[in-house]
Amino acid sequence: MPLIALLLVLPFGCAPDLDASEPDTTKADLLKKTTNMSVRLYGIMEFETFGIVFRHPTTLEVLTVPIGWMLDSFRGFREEKTPTQTVTDQVHGTITPDGQWMTSLVFTRRITHTSPDDGVFYEVTLKNVPISSFENELITANEIGSDILKHVEKVSYIEKSYSNGQLVTNTVLVSTDWTKDAAGLAPYILILFEEGEGGGLPPC
């Protein structure tokens, strides 16, 4: 299985404060040493399939995507093929200069079957997610509960397949409920930055 650079707008005729201290880039430097990332969004989601609406716990994720850095921006791509499908994961985004926040993150997954248009496609846009843990070679951002709504800017999901030679839309995402599921599990965002090959996120 999708960041916005910060822009400081100064009033006309004003100049930046040259005496302002530079941000501590220690955490940003650690982030830029990481070479892959995994992202997961979990919550109760509502879908429509041929006019029938249903709700169930849903995980949208990309796993162990190799990434490259340019200044405070990163992007990555991973493709895995089997005899029956191709899974393509992509990520791109940016961090703040001090490495404390991800100002934007977009991750996408395409699961295609008989053609590039036939399959499952989703994209998630996140914003202003705090990077909470810097431990050894693993850096994480983990937000839990209904407050994750303020970090989720956009979620799109669609399933398509061929029927009698025509490409039809089977399922679309209608809405997302940020309350707990029937088992009491709260919605969450989990982001992992790792060095080396890494293991990505464990199965749900």
> 40 - beta bridge partners?
61, 190
Per-residue pLDDT in tens (0 to 9) along the chain, 204 residues: 333 333 333 343 444 444 456 778 889 999 999 999 999 999 999 999 989 999 999 999 999 999 999 999 999 999 999 999 999 999 999 999 999 999 999 999 999 998 889 999 999 999 999 998 887 678 999 999 998 999 999 999 999 988 888 888 999 999 998 888 878 899 999 999 988 766 677 776
What is the per-residue pLDDT for 22?
76
Question: Which residue shows structure tokens 């070679």?
Answer: 137
- CA quadruple 78, 43, 123, 48: dihedral positive or negative? positive
Tokens representing 52 are 């029938």
Q: Which among 159, 8, 22 has a CA at the least distance from the CA of 85?
A: 159
What is the per-residue pLDDT for 21?
66
> Helix (H, G, I), strand (E, B), or coil: what is residue 171?
strand
CB atoms within 10 A of CB 105: 27
Helix, strand, coil share of the chain (percent; to 5): 5, 55, 35
Q: Using an 8 Å Cβ cutoff, are 120 and 111 in contact? A: yes
Distance CA 122, CA 55 (A): 17
Distance CA 5, CA 1 (A): 23
Q: Using an 8 Å Cβ cutoff, are 151 and 129 in contact? A: yes
